[in-house]
Structure 1
Amino acid sequence: MTVSLSIQTKSSGINKARADFTQAYPRTVLPTSAEFKPMTQIVSHTHPWSQLSYSCIGVMPIETDVGIFVIPPEQAL
């Protein structure tokens, strides 16, 4: 299943709130969380901020411009 994060978070208003917040505080940490079903794929996207990905349960492969990383449970990238 391919998921667009803009569609996924659009209804909660999180994108607008985050955009407003990052303009006011560009170096502040912006915590969010999401739970995905197994085998969920997220389409390639970018942010004007950095992102930390953490897997509580299960393995999470992440593909970036630099390479493909596999995050085991309780690890982060």
Structure 2
Amino acid sequence: MPAPGFRSDGPEREATHADNVAKVDALQAVPRPVVAAATDYPAGQATRWHSHPRGQLVYAISGVMAVTTDGGVWVVPPERAVWVPGGMPHRVDFPTDVKKRSLWVAPEA
């Protein structure tokens, strides 16, 4: 369930989720130990719970995001990052416009 103040329903939300799943799946298949990705989110968006084989360093160039795992919630302000180990279920909420950058690190790296 999203944190208070987050929008997570509606057709535009579903389209965004489908686009993100396709992008993440494609990144997981890149035959390199480290892959970078840039995604910008409008305020009020959120990912669904998901996991992926690669670890992910989630960095906010601007805006604030909240990364939730079974272990807690980490607020990621601008110019900060959080590490999400590969295989760990998580979701990300975007209460503000966010310029998110990620490094995806293969388990063998």
Structures share fold, TM-score greater than 0.5: yes
Task: Report the structure, 1 or 2, having the larger helix content.
Answer: 1
Deviation >4 Å, runs of 4+: 3-6
C-alpha distance in 2 between matches for 1:14 and 1:67: 23
Give the structure 2 partner of residue 15 of structure 1: 25
Against the structure 1 CA distance between its residues 19 and 76, is the aligned structure 2 distance closer, same or farther, given a 3 Å change threshold? Answer: closer
Task: Report the structure, 1 or 2, having the larger strand content.
Answer: 2
Secondary structure of 1:48's counterpart equals coil
Q: TM-score, normalised by structure 1?
A: 0.72
Identity %: 26
C-alpha distance in 2 between matches for 1:49 and 1:14: 10
Does structure 2 conserve the Cα–Cα contact (< 8 Å) formed by 1:6 and 1:15?
no
Q: How does 1:34-73 map to 2 (within 5 A)?
A: 34-73=39-78
Does structure 1 conserve the Cα–Cα contact (< 8 Å) formed by 2:61 and 2:79?
yes
For structure 2, list consecutive stretches of 5 or more residues without a partner in the other structure.
1-6, 83-109
Residue 43 (structure 2) pairs with residue 31 (structure 1): no
Corresponding residue pairs, total: 70
Q: Which has the higher contact order (CA 8 A, sep 6+)?
A: 2
C-alpha distance in 2 between matches for 1:75 and 1:35: 16
C-alpha distance in 2 between matches for 1:30 and 1:70: 23
Q: TM-score, normalised by structure 2?
A: 0.53
